Chains A and B, each alone.
Chain A
């Protein structure tokens, strides 16, 4: 049974309201090309724009110097898709990794992960993050791109409840992610990218 277009539209609308970028793609190949493009078009080192020009204490400066090259981390994509992504990125001088995030805590450019579900009511994606690499990649990356199969979109959180309850039967770490990391702790002024991603993209995989 196909997902009602109204549900897809609602997810797009609600995610857009919280500064997420939402796009539909016709195939996994298109999604992979999108990821490579976002990374290629991104500032050479977005981290610079996100605060490297700000004078920091010496410890904080030191951590940033660990990053040399543009990096995409794809911790939970199917192997053949990682291979395609790697090929596309190589041409553009971008490294693709699937693990080793603990060695990259200064920052990476992109995390691309699967989303287990989308919740239309709030523009949320559900990311299974029991694998530590997924957890770290989606927090350390400046841009998180979540690939959401259209059929995994539900109307509200209650619809996703049975699945999450079944996951909770064993050690599990699940994230509901709604837009990029944000704060309004200084004078209630919205700022994106406090501890996590500055950008959040949702790619809806049509017909999947």
Chain B
């Protein structure tokens, strides 16, 4: 449960979490194993199509939650269930406490419910003098430890068998062996009497089916079945977003949920309960059955054009499974109650700005969560939007609004960069900034920072621009700040490659400025819009066939981000779409449009590995073009492990959370080295800055270059 008062306290907590070696190893192993088991589970299934069907169906349901509620209530009540709707978390807890009271309940068994975690139900019931026992093994363990879950489906993933053995020794007052199989059996037998004695069972519900008034519960252990069978009272607690029109909707989600959660084809149990079923110890031999829906802001969220998407969530936890940051710091520091990417969003809505304000900044924008989401939720965009809203509500930090002011004024920004070039003279050497007064950059000493180039690309352009007599294709080059001012040689290489094909006319529109992604990362949405409008004005899209950029992050933001920024402004939305349709990354342009292949290149073979930039492979869905180009250019491409996992740069992320950036870079570098190659290609200057700086800092000779540079060096001279 992350609850730091400010960012520096949060960073301190993160550093502590980084020192938890057991947790780091456990999450590392899981992250690697999950990748394979998920792929195996979905083998032979069109996962994107299934995910899209789930998204469409959930969106439709979210638009009609109250109607579905009424329909559910009608059917469930006809079958003997009492149905409640609580406006707030507290109200839900009070309803359940009242049910306990009117039925003379003293002891309660619970099966796993994230919604009950959200409402802090146990605390409320215990304060009324009720005894509550969690029966899911992981939940029981963390209940005994008085802590919250660290994963939505594996709540105790952060704990070792030794810790569990110690805990069970304490609980049974008998020494327990450190043997997982035995410990599980101890739990089986310790919990069995709890079910027998309990007056009431509380469960969650994965589905509430409106057409029949039924609930569906997914479990592996079977505790859900005992909880809903043995006690005379059963209360199911569910977010109102769990309403689904028909059984078919639930069956569809079940085809995806366990596979996406842990790579399991299906859980051991799926339990379908309709109405008050027979119960020998209940009044008249029937179960006292209640379903409590909790709104807690969901109904309002359902009307928010952007955030209604969050209600698609089926609580599979996959967004944590693939998150590079979760993997480093675990769920206690990467969520308040809800964990992972969806937790960063949900915390703001369910537990407030104060709990969300630090958390929401801790996102690389790498898009791994979005790519794996069972309901296709655009999590990175929502996380940035929550950040922007919090800044609008609380006021923007000085550095953030200052960045907004500078970046949206191109002349000022570029003048500052050019002055920096002069100022850096005493510390610049061999392309890096050296001898920096490191006390100013205490946490940033994990990579060498590049120096600003002597001459920006924009100042070289007139000298190098190719003259094309007859243009078949008109291309506008978008350099982005890093290639313009730090790595202009990458742009020059790209120009040489493109110019090797006749009939391609290139322009470098001088008015272009920063793409605006850093502002989005900082929550400066307003300045970001102004900057986007500036760029769309500087590059008149209608005059070009393609807008080509070598920076994966710029490309992805120009293509998708601009359209999102102007979604609510029809005139600008048209312009943004016109612009976006023309944007293409360098590798795709050269490979797919120019059709360059091995005929174009020559040179001796050489081992080269690759780093797939987040914004290329997930942001733009481009995976094969750069790899094929490397092979076509005669290079021996050696795949690296976790090639598509973020290098830890994340733009401003690496400035804000250097301790996390450093760890991610370290992993990346080790994976690259493990290929045996001593050279690496990629498609993003940000990644190059990070990875090259990392190698330089540790003193390893490793060539890190843009794909364009490899291609340019191997062009056949004709």
Residue of A nearest to B252 (CB): A158
Please report the C-alpha to C-alpha distance between residue A185 and residue B186 in the assembled complex, in whole angstroms.
14
Question: A14 at interface (Cβ–Cβ under 8 A)?
Answer: yes
Question: B271 at interface (Cβ–Cβ under 8 A)?
Answer: yes
Please report the C-alpha to C-alpha distance between residue A178 and residue B222 in the assembled complex, in whole angstroms.
11
Residue of A nearest to B172 (CB): A57
Chain B residues contacting A176 (CB-CB under 8 Å) are 266, 269-272
Question: A186 at interface (Cβ–Cβ under 8 A)?
Answer: yes
- Of the listed stretches A36-44, A47-55, A73-81, A90-98, name the one at the interface; the rest are far from the partner chain: A47-55
Contact A171 B266 (CB under 8 A): no
Chain B residues contacting A51 (CB-CB under 8 Å) are 182, 185-186, 188-189
Question: B137 at interface (Cβ–Cβ under 8 A)?
Answer: yes
Chain A residues contacting B577 (CB-CB under 8 Å) are none
Residue of A nearest to B179 (CB): A54
Residue of B nearest to A49 (CB): B185
Chain B residues contacting A157 (CB-CB under 8 Å) are 251, 254-255
Given the known A-B contacts A60-B189, A122-B265, are A188 and B30 also in contact in the complex, defined by CB atoms under 8 Å? yes
CB distance from A157 to the nearest CB of B (A): 5
29 contacts between A and B (CB under 8 A): A51-B189, A54-B185, A55-B172, A55-B174, A55-B176, A56-B186, A56-B189, A56-B190, A105-B195, A136-B229, A161-B247, A161-B248, A171-B278, A173-B229, A173-B271, A173-B273, A175-B225, A176-B271, A177-B268, A178-B268, A183-B137, A185-B137, A185-B138, A187-B160, A187-B180, A188-B30, A194-B137, A194-B222, A195-B225
Please report the C-alpha to C-alpha distance between residue A169 and residue B212 in the assembled complex, in whole angstroms.
6
Q: B154-193 toward A: CB 8 Å interface, digit per residue (1/0)?
A: 1111011100100000011111110011111111111111
Question: B314 at interface (Cβ–Cβ under 8 A)?
Answer: no
Question: B260 at interface (Cβ–Cβ under 8 A)?
Answer: no
Please report the C-alpha to C-alpha distance between residue A63 and residue B248 in the assembled complex, in whole angstroms.
41
Chain B residues contacting A196 (CB-CB under 8 Å) are 221-222, 225-226, 268-269
Please report the C-alpha to C-alpha distance between residue A185 and residue B185 in the assembled complex, in whole angstroms.
13
**For window 24-75 of chain A, which residues contact chain B by CB distance below 8 Å?**
50-52, 54-57, 59-60, 62-64
Question: B136 at interface (Cβ–Cβ under 8 A)?
Answer: yes
Contact A102 B188 (CB under 8 A): no
Chain B residues contacting A102 (CB-CB under 8 Å) are 280-281
Contact A50 B247 (CB under 8 A): no
Chain A residues contacting B196 (CB-CB under 8 Å) are 63, 105
Contact B222 A168 (CB under 8 A): no
CB distance from A95 to the nearest CB of B (A): 20
Question: A17 at interface (Cβ–Cβ under 8 A)?
Answer: yes
Lowest 8 A-B CB distances belong to which pairs? A51-B185, A196-B222, A55-B174, A171-B275, A185-B138, A168-B212, A176-B270, A194-B221
Q: A128-164 toward B: CB 8 Å interface, digit per residue (1/0)?
A: 0011100110010000000000000000011001001
Question: B223 at interface (Cβ–Cβ under 8 A)?
Answer: yes
Question: B277 at interface (Cβ–Cβ under 8 A)?
Answer: yes
> A175-B271, A186-B183 known; 17 other A-B pairs, CB under 8 Å?
A51-B188, A54-B185, A55-B175, A60-B193, A139-B225, A157-B254, A168-B209, A169-B212, A171-B278, A172-B277, A173-B273, A177-B269, A182-B220, A186-B141, A191-B184, A193-B188, A195-B225
Q: Which of A170, A177, A188 contacts B26 (CB 8 A)?
A: A188
Please report the C-alpha to C-alpha distance between residue A62 and residue B192 in the assembled complex, in whole angstroms.
11
**For window 85-107 of chain A, which residues contact chain B by CB distance below 8 Å?**
102, 105-106
Residue of A nearest to B175 (CB): A55
Chain A residues contacting B281 (CB-CB under 8 Å) are 102
Residue of A nearest to B264 (CB): A18
Question: B267 at interface (Cβ–Cβ under 8 A)?
Answer: yes
CB distance from B370 to the nearest CB of A (A): 25
Residue among B175, B196, B268, B279 having the largest count of chain A Cβ atoms under 10 Å: B268
Given the known A-B contacts A54-B189, A196-B222, are A132 and B268 also in contact in the complex, defined by CB atoms under 8 Å? no
Question: B135 at interface (Cβ–Cβ under 8 A)?
Answer: yes
Chain B residues contacting A167 (CB-CB under 8 Å) are 274
Q: Which residues does B use to contact A, with CB under 8 Å?
A: 26, 29-30, 33, 79-80, 135-138, 141, 154-157, 159-161, 164, 171-177, 180-193, 195-196, 209, 211-214, 220-223, 225-226, 228-230, 246-248, 251, 254-255, 262, 265-281, 286
Chain B residues contacting A56 (CB-CB under 8 Å) are 172, 174, 186, 189-190
Residue among A52, A176, A177, A194 having the largest count of chain B Cβ atoms under 10 Å: A194
Contact B185 A193 (CB under 8 A): yes
CB distance from A85 to the nearest CB of B (A): 24
Chain A residues contacting B269 (CB-CB under 8 Å) are 175-178, 181, 196
Residue among A63, A164, A196 having the largest count of chain B Cβ atoms under 10 Å: A196
Chain A residues contacting B271 (CB-CB under 8 Å) are 173-176
Question: A113 at interface (Cβ–Cβ under 8 A)?
Answer: no
Question: A179 at interface (Cβ–Cβ under 8 A)?
Answer: yes
Question: A165 at interface (Cβ–Cβ under 8 A)?
Answer: yes
Q: Which of A52, A171, A180, A182 contacts B274 (CB 8 A)?
A: A171
Please report the C-alpha to C-alpha distance between residue A122 and residue B269 in the assembled complex, in whole angstroms.
12
Residue of B nearest to A53 (CB): B182
Given the known A-B contacts A50-B185, A195-B191, are A186 and B180 also in contact in the complex, defined by CB atoms under 8 Å? yes
CB distance from B212 to the nearest CB of A (A): 4
Given the known A-B contacts A18-B268, A122-B265, A178-B269, are A193 and B184 also in contact in the complex, defined by CB atoms under 8 Å? yes
Residue of B nearest to A102 (CB): B280
Contact B188 A180 (CB under 8 A): no
Please report the C-alpha to C-alpha distance between residue A14 and residue B266 in the assembled complex, in whole angstroms.
10
Contact B180 A189 (CB under 8 A): yes
Residue among A132, A171, A189, A193 having the largest count of chain B Cβ atoms under 10 Å: A171
Chain A residues contacting B195 (CB-CB under 8 Å) are 105
Given the known A-B contacts A51-B188, A158-B251, are A18 and B79 also in contact in the complex, defined by CB atoms under 8 Å? no
CB distance from A72 to the nearest CB of B (A): 19
Residue among B26, B173, B189, B262 having the largest count of chain A Cβ atoms under 10 Å: B189
Contact A172 B274 (CB under 8 A): yes
Given the known A-B contacts A165-B247, A186-B137, A188-B154, are A122 and B189 also in contact in the complex, defined by CB atoms under 8 Å? no
Please report the C-alpha to C-alpha distance between residue A136 and residue B281 in the assembled complex, in whole angstroms.
13
CB distance from A208 to the nearest CB of B (A): 24
Chain B residues contacting A188 (CB-CB under 8 Å) are 26, 29-30, 33, 154, 157
Chain A residues contacting B185 (CB-CB under 8 Å) are 50-51, 54, 193
Chain B residues contacting A135 (CB-CB under 8 Å) are 225, 229
Please report the C-alpha to C-alpha distance between residue A17 and residue B268 in the assembled complex, in whole angstroms.
12
Please report the C-alpha to C-alpha distance between residue A174 and residue B274 in the assembled complex, in whole angstroms.
9
CB distance from B154 to the nearest CB of A (A): 6
Contact A132 B251 (CB under 8 A): no
Chain A residues contacting B136 (CB-CB under 8 Å) are 185
CB distance from A126 to the nearest CB of B (A): 9
Contact A171 B277 (CB under 8 A): yes
